């Protein structure tokens, strides 16, 4: 089977690119399962019910997120209403939503998606390593395909989790930094890995935001609102070819596609 994992959707430009390009990618590459990170999809920060309804119209099987999933209060209702919308599993108990979703392909292949957040340069959450152990151990034996979105800052922490789960997860891919990395590979025991998928959004920007707004923050060190940029919009993703009988990855291909209307 083939899984498509799409990097952080940033604002309306990212949503438009996903809407316009996703169907063609699925048809051209014969994709069986789609996972999309949506934590920056509503104005660059968080999710809203309205934006979630937009995604509902697309052929997406699971939605992952990260630290910005909490940025819009109305987005909490999305986590509570639909189990396909995940938040990182290593947030403390008592938070709404879940960090694990088990779906299946049209052919009936069960697929587990696990969402985790890093701790280096981020919040002191529960250990993503220990939480991953627990979630994987709790899966039904029939679930062989396991996809992990590790929303983390440090490449070293992402690589560490990749090797830690090598042979137990079909793919471990990083999100959060919005910069696609050129290190896609199959690890020794059969796990597909890439440090960061990159963002689906405007690349004439500073990680998706207008350059002038971000430069002002860096120069003056005073508060100022960010704004999603608009130009050079691209979709960033990977395609992972997986042996569904073993859960091992056979290949990984990096995508960075231009949205021609941008």
Q: Which amino acids are annotated catalytic?
A: 68
126 Cβ contact list (under 8 Å, min separation 6): 90, 91, 92
Alpha carbon 212 to its chain's center? 27
For the four alpha carbons of 259, 105, 7 and 80, in that order, the dihedral sign comes to: positive
Q: Which structure tokens are listed for 50?
A: 């309205």
Distances from the Cα of 109 to the Cα of 3, 238, 245, angstroms: 12, 20, 9
Which residues sit opposite 186 in a β-bridge? 192
Q: Which structure tokens are listed for 129?
A: 């390593």
- Torsion angle defined by CA atoms of residues 214, 48, 153 and 143, in that order, rounded to the nearest 10 degrees: -160
Residues in the chain: 262
Q: Which structure tokens are listed for 81?
A: 């209403």
Helix axes 128-137, 155-164, angle to 10 degrees: 30
Which residues sit opposite 169 in a β-bridge? 166
Q: How far apart are CA 252 and CA 262, in angstroms?
A: 27
Burial of 146 (0-12, 13-18, 19+ CB in 10 A): buried
């Amino acid at each position: 089977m083939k899984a498509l994992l799409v990097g952080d959707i940033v604002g309306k430009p990212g949503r438009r690119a996903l809407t316009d390009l996703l169907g063609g990618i699925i048809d051209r590459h014969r994709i069986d399962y789609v996972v999309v990170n949506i934590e920056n999809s509503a104005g660059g920060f968080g999710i809203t019910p309205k934006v979630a309804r937009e995604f509902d119209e697309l052929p997406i099987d699971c939605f992952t997120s990260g630290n910005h999933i909490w940025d819009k209060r109305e987005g909490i209702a999305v986590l509570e209403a639909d189990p396909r919308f995940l938040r990182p599993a290593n947030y403390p108990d008592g938070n709404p939503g879940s960090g694990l979703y088990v779906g299946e392909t049209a052919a009936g292949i069960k697929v587990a998606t696990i969402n985790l957040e890093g701790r280096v340069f981020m919040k002191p959450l529960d250990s993503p390593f220990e939480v991953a152990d627990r979630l994987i151990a709790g899966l039904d034996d029939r679930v062989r395909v396991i996809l992990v979105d590790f929303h983390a800052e440090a490449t070293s922490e992402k690589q560490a989790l990749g090797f830690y789960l090598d042979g137990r997860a079909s793919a471990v891919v990083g999100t959060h930094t919005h910069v696609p990395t050129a290190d896609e590979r199959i690890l020794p025991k059969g796990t597909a890995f890439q440090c960061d998928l990159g963002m689906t959004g405007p690349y004439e920007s500073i990680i998706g935001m207008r350059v002038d707004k971000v430069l002002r923050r860096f120069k003056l060190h005073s508060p100022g609102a960010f704004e999603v940029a608009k130009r050079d919009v691209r979709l960033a993703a990977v395609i992972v070819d997986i042996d569904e009988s073993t859960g091992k990855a056979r290949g990984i291909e990096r995508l960075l596609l231009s949205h021609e209307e941008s």
